Amino acid sequence: MSQQPRLTEADVVQFLEDHPDFFVGKDDLLSQLRIPHQTSGATSLIERQVQVHRDRNIELRQRLSDLLENARRNDHLFEKTRRLVLALIEANSWLALHTALDDALRNDFAVDSWAMLHFTERQLERPLIAIRSQEQQRNIHRMFKGHRAICGQLPRNDMAALLNLDTTDMGSIAAAQIRGQDNHGVLVLASHNESHYRTSMDTLFLDYLCDVLALRLQQTPVTR
Protein backbone atom coordinates (compact mmCIF):
# COMPACT_ATOMS: atom_id res chain seq x y z
CA MET A 1 0.00 0.00 0.00
CA SER A 2 1.41 3.37 -0.97
CA GLN A 3 1.83 5.89 1.83
CA GLN A 4 -0.28 9.06 1.68
CA PRO A 5 1.83 12.24 1.25
CA ARG A 6 2.12 14.11 4.52
CA LEU A 7 0.35 17.48 4.68
CA THR A 8 2.76 20.20 5.73
CA GLU A 9 2.19 23.56 7.35
CA ALA A 10 3.17 25.23 4.09
CA ASP A 11 0.48 23.21 2.30
CA VAL A 12 -2.16 24.48 4.72
CA VAL A 13 -0.97 28.07 4.38
CA GLN A 14 -0.99 27.82 0.58
CA PHE A 15 -4.47 26.31 0.59
CA LEU A 16 -5.88 29.09 2.79
CA GLU A 17 -4.19 31.74 0.64
CA ASP A 18 -5.72 30.15 -2.48
CA HIS A 19 -9.14 29.86 -0.78
CA PRO A 20 -9.58 32.95 1.41
CA ASP A 21 -13.33 32.27 1.69
CA PHE A 22 -12.84 28.70 2.97
CA PHE A 23 -14.29 29.50 6.41
CA VAL A 24 -17.41 31.16 5.01
CA GLY A 25 -20.41 29.23 6.36
CA LYS A 26 -18.22 27.16 8.72
CA ASP A 27 -18.98 29.01 11.97
CA ASP A 28 -18.85 25.80 14.03
CA LEU A 29 -15.33 25.09 12.77
CA LEU A 30 -14.23 28.66 13.47
CA SER A 31 -15.52 28.47 17.04
CA GLN A 32 -13.43 25.33 17.65
CA LEU A 33 -10.16 26.75 16.37
CA ARG A 34 -7.79 28.11 19.01
CA ILE A 35 -4.67 30.25 18.60
CA PRO A 36 -2.06 30.34 21.39
CA HIS A 37 -1.74 33.78 22.96
CA GLN A 38 1.24 34.89 24.99
CA THR A 39 -0.73 36.63 27.72
CA SER A 40 -4.16 35.00 27.87
CA GLY A 41 -3.72 31.38 26.88
CA ALA A 42 -5.76 30.35 23.83
CA THR A 43 -8.21 32.48 21.92
CA SER A 44 -10.59 31.71 19.10
CA LEU A 45 -9.69 32.48 15.51
CA ILE A 46 -12.44 35.08 15.32
CA GLU A 47 -11.23 36.79 18.49
CA ARG A 48 -7.70 36.75 17.14
CA GLN A 49 -8.83 38.28 13.84
CA VAL A 50 -10.71 40.98 15.73
CA GLN A 51 -7.59 41.76 17.73
CA VAL A 52 -5.43 41.88 14.60
CA HIS A 53 -7.86 44.28 12.91
CA ARG A 54 -8.04 46.39 16.07
CA ASP A 55 -4.24 46.64 16.20
CA ARG A 56 -4.11 47.55 12.52
CA ASN A 57 -6.76 50.22 13.02
CA ILE A 58 -4.74 51.72 15.87
CA GLU A 59 -1.66 51.75 13.64
CA LEU A 60 -3.58 53.36 10.77
CA ARG A 61 -5.05 56.02 13.08
CA GLN A 62 -1.55 56.82 14.33
CA ARG A 63 -0.27 57.12 10.76
CA LEU A 64 -3.17 59.40 9.87
CA SER A 65 -2.50 61.52 12.95
CA ASP A 66 1.18 61.81 11.95
CA LEU A 67 0.21 62.82 8.40
CA LEU A 68 -2.17 65.49 9.70
CA GLU A 69 0.47 66.82 12.08
CA ASN A 70 3.03 66.98 9.26
CA ALA A 71 0.47 68.77 7.09
CA ARG A 72 -0.11 71.35 9.85
CA ARG A 73 3.63 71.90 10.26
CA ASN A 74 4.09 72.26 6.50
CA ASP A 75 1.19 74.72 6.37
CA HIS A 76 2.76 76.86 9.10
CA LEU A 77 6.15 76.68 7.38
CA PHE A 78 4.62 77.69 4.05
CA GLU A 79 2.89 80.72 5.62
CA LYS A 80 6.07 81.90 7.35
CA THR A 81 8.09 81.34 4.18
CA ARG A 82 5.50 83.24 2.16
CA ARG A 83 5.75 86.27 4.49
CA LEU A 84 9.55 86.18 4.28
CA VAL A 85 9.64 85.95 0.47
CA LEU A 86 7.19 88.86 0.15
CA ALA A 87 9.36 90.93 2.51
CA LEU A 88 12.44 90.11 0.42
CA ILE A 89 10.62 91.12 -2.77
CA GLU A 90 9.72 94.48 -1.21
CA ALA A 91 13.28 95.18 -0.01
CA ASN A 92 15.02 97.91 -2.03
CA SER A 93 18.62 97.45 -0.84
CA TRP A 94 20.95 94.80 0.53
CA LEU A 95 20.53 96.30 3.98
CA ALA A 96 16.73 96.05 3.65
CA LEU A 97 17.13 92.41 2.60
CA HIS A 98 19.25 91.82 5.69
CA THR A 99 16.65 93.50 7.91
CA ALA A 100 13.82 91.40 6.45
CA LEU A 101 15.85 88.23 7.01
CA ASP A 102 16.73 89.18 10.56
CA ASP A 103 13.10 89.88 11.47
CA ALA A 104 11.79 86.63 9.96
CA LEU A 105 14.56 84.30 11.13
CA ARG A 106 14.51 85.54 14.72
CA ASN A 107 10.76 86.08 15.19
CA ASP A 108 9.08 83.57 12.86
CA PHE A 109 11.67 80.81 12.77
CA ALA A 110 13.19 81.30 16.26
CA VAL A 111 16.77 81.08 14.96
CA ASP A 112 19.30 81.68 17.75
CA SER A 113 21.91 83.24 15.47
CA TRP A 114 22.43 83.70 11.75
CA ALA A 115 24.71 85.32 9.20
CA MET A 116 24.78 86.03 5.49
CA LEU A 117 28.28 86.14 4.04
CA HIS A 118 28.86 88.04 0.79
CA PHE A 119 31.86 86.93 -1.27
CA THR A 120 32.66 90.31 -2.73
CA GLU A 121 35.39 92.94 -2.96
CA ARG A 122 32.86 95.66 -2.14
CA GLN A 123 33.17 97.63 1.07
CA LEU A 124 29.98 96.74 2.93
CA GLU A 125 28.81 98.46 6.08
CA ARG A 126 27.70 96.48 9.11
CA PRO A 127 25.62 94.47 9.62
CA LEU A 128 26.40 93.35 6.05
CA ILE A 129 29.36 90.97 5.98
CA ALA A 130 31.84 91.05 3.10
CA ILE A 131 34.34 88.20 2.75
CA ARG A 132 36.95 89.77 0.49
CA SER A 133 39.84 87.38 1.12
CA GLN A 134 39.92 84.66 -1.54
CA GLU A 135 41.73 82.37 0.88
CA GLN A 136 38.94 82.81 3.41
CA GLN A 137 36.37 82.16 0.68
CA ARG A 138 38.15 78.94 -0.30
CA ASN A 139 38.29 77.78 3.32
CA ILE A 140 34.54 78.28 3.66
CA HIS A 141 33.88 76.46 0.38
CA ARG A 142 35.94 73.49 1.64
CA MET A 143 33.57 73.04 4.57
CA PHE A 144 30.79 72.12 2.15
CA LYS A 145 32.82 69.31 0.55
CA GLY A 146 31.12 69.81 -2.79
CA HIS A 147 27.58 69.99 -1.37
CA ARG A 148 25.12 72.86 -1.71
CA ALA A 149 24.25 72.78 2.00
CA ILE A 150 25.58 71.34 5.25
CA CYS A 151 23.88 70.65 8.58
CA GLY A 152 24.96 69.40 11.98
CA GLN A 153 27.79 69.88 14.45
CA LEU A 154 30.98 71.33 13.05
CA PRO A 155 34.23 72.17 14.83
CA ARG A 156 33.83 75.36 16.87
CA ASN A 157 36.32 77.27 14.75
CA ASP A 158 34.44 76.31 11.54
CA MET A 159 31.09 77.39 12.98
CA ALA A 160 32.67 80.64 14.15
CA ALA A 161 34.10 81.24 10.67
CA LEU A 162 30.69 80.65 9.08
CA LEU A 163 29.16 83.17 11.48
CA ASN A 164 32.10 85.57 10.88
CA LEU A 165 33.01 85.49 14.58
CA ASP A 166 36.24 84.88 16.44
CA THR A 167 34.49 82.33 18.67
CA THR A 168 30.98 81.00 19.19
CA ASP A 169 28.97 78.99 21.69
CA MET A 170 26.56 77.66 19.07
CA GLY A 171 26.00 73.90 19.11
CA SER A 172 24.89 73.17 15.53
CA ILE A 173 24.45 74.95 12.22
CA ALA A 174 22.67 74.75 8.88
CA ALA A 175 24.35 76.55 6.00
CA ALA A 176 23.72 76.80 2.27
CA GLN A 177 25.56 78.49 -0.56
CA ILE A 178 24.10 81.49 -2.38
CA ARG A 179 24.92 81.14 -6.06
CA GLY A 180 23.99 84.26 -7.97
CA GLN A 181 25.00 85.41 -11.41
CA ASP A 182 27.26 88.17 -10.10
CA ASN A 183 27.25 87.43 -6.39
CA HIS A 184 28.07 84.47 -4.24
CA GLY A 185 27.90 83.86 -0.55
CA VAL A 186 26.56 81.70 2.27
CA LEU A 187 23.48 81.84 4.47
CA VAL A 188 24.08 80.35 7.92
CA LEU A 189 21.57 79.45 10.64
CA ALA A 190 22.83 78.45 14.09
CA SER A 191 21.37 76.99 17.27
CA HIS A 192 22.61 76.63 20.84
CA ASN A 193 21.15 73.10 20.75
CA GLU A 194 23.71 70.59 19.44
CA SER A 195 20.99 68.35 17.98
CA HIS A 196 18.76 71.08 16.52
CA TYR A 197 20.43 70.96 13.10
CA ARG A 198 21.29 67.37 12.17
CA THR A 199 23.16 65.85 9.24
CA SER A 200 20.00 63.93 8.28
CA MET A 201 17.88 67.08 7.94
CA ASP A 202 16.24 68.06 4.67
CA THR A 203 17.68 71.38 3.41
CA LEU A 204 14.91 72.08 0.87
CA PHE A 205 13.72 75.22 2.70
CA LEU A 206 17.24 76.59 3.09
CA ASP A 207 18.12 75.87 -0.54
CA TYR A 208 14.92 77.59 -1.67
CA LEU A 209 15.65 80.64 0.49
CA CYS A 210 19.16 80.89 -0.95
CA ASP A 211 17.76 80.72 -4.49
CA VAL A 212 15.44 83.65 -3.68
CA LEU A 213 18.33 85.59 -2.14
CA ALA A 214 20.57 84.94 -5.16
CA LEU A 215 17.92 86.49 -7.39
CA ARG A 216 17.09 89.43 -5.11
CA LEU A 217 20.74 90.33 -4.41
CA GLN A 218 21.31 90.46 -8.16
CA GLN A 219 18.27 92.72 -8.69
CA THR A 220 18.79 94.98 -5.65
CA PRO A 221 21.45 97.71 -5.23
CA VAL A 222 23.76 97.53 -2.24
CA THR A 223 22.58 100.92 -0.98
CA ARG A 224 19.53 102.99 -1.70
Divide the 224 residues of the chain into consecutive groups of 10 and give the mean pLDDT of each group.
Answer: 72 84 72 61 62 81 86 88 95 95 95 96 92 94 94 95 95 95 92 94 92 94 80
Helices assigned H by DSSP within the chain: 9-18, 27-32, 45-90, 94-103, 134-144, 156-162, 204-219
Single-letter amino acid, residue 180:
G
Q: Is there a cis peptide before residue 127, judged by omega within 30 degrees of 0?
A: yes
The pLDDT score that the predictor gives to residue 7 is 81
- Written as one string, the DSSP assignment of 77-140 is HHHHHHHHHHHHHH--SHHHHHHHHHHIIIIIS--SEEEEEEE-SS-PPTTSEE---HHHHHHH
Instruction: Delimit the domains of the chain by residue range.
Output: 28-90, 92-219
pTM (two decimals): 0.71
Do residues 129 and 164 make contact, with C-beta atoms less than 8 angstroms apart?
Answer: yes
Return the CATH class of domain 92-219: alpha beta
Amino acid at 102: D
CB 164 within 8 A of CB 154: no
Q: Which residues of 4-41 are buried (b: 16+ CB within 10 A; e: fewer)?
A: eeeeeeeeeeeeeeeeeeeeeeeeeeeeeeeeeeeeee
Asked if residues 46 and 31 have their Cβ atoms less than 8 Å apart, the reply is yes
Angle at 56 between CA 53 and CA 62, to 5 degrees: 145
Q: Are 174 and 189 within 8 A, CB to CB?
A: yes
Q: Which amino acid is at 89?
A: I
